[in-house]
Structure 1
């Protein structure tokens, strides 16, 4: 009867969140204790919630029951589909308190925050230069390897960074750079070499 009257009789001592059932409080407490009683038999990774283990198991089975209605891409869990949908909607719900820049995923905001704190955990093994974001290190490494994964569709000229290609595309058109960018990965997929 308690669940119907919305009485909250069980209270978390750590954060004061309240629950109508003792079992729900016990499950909630695992978020504070770090307890992870659910273990994957395949890889031994552990989880605090059974639903998270079940979702994880799909990484082993390859099951992808959640499908994007815009592009038909499929995902193993609903949360990942929701994040993906932001690529279509342009939604950026995570805002930096320092500079108001917005991000579509929380991880990107956390990475960005390092630019404000000065933290630079990503180090180039070749020259020792350090970066706050992994993506910036990857682009930097191309200066050592000579890799230029972005290719112009018009003249086949190659670039290290996608924004350099976009700037170059304006030399072929009326200033609009709406043509799709070709990368090595998309070319390999098109030619059937993506394995």
Structure 2
């Protein structure tokens, strides 16, 4: 094991400054549905979180994301916190004409980080469902949920190598406000 520093950006958005163009294109493709938070969906959130992050750099930055049980524990921890924002927590599911089973494809969770500031904890889209606009839809729904929770600002952190996520956040108006370094132990190949 070797110690590595991962460069991350802390990004922030004023909710009253979201470009209209970012919200106009936020919709689901046919065959998908957006599900608001329910405790019954915890396992589905954990499942898609694991599928979304297990092969990504963030699994090195946050080892719990590389482990199915770690994702379940993380979801439980997030949703039990007193600053959990259920209206900013969403799941995208693929519809199945043969079954009512939920096939999770994307997840986002929100917390309050201050009295009028929300914090996006994780946004993940299953690798098979990327480039379909699911992340954009999840982000738009979460931001609306933060508005309902009377937030004026929303922040998040993103690993610098996650260029696609950074571009998405910038389209919504997020600005880089701080550069952070996360120390993590990684397996050397």
Q: Common fold, TM-score beyond 0.5?
A: no
| TM-score for both structures, normalised by structure 2 | 0.24
| TM-score for both structures, normalised by structure 1 | 0.23
Larger radius of gyration: 1
Structure 1 or 2: more strand by fraction = 2
Highest RCO, 1 vs 2 (Cα 8 Å, sep ≥ 6): 2
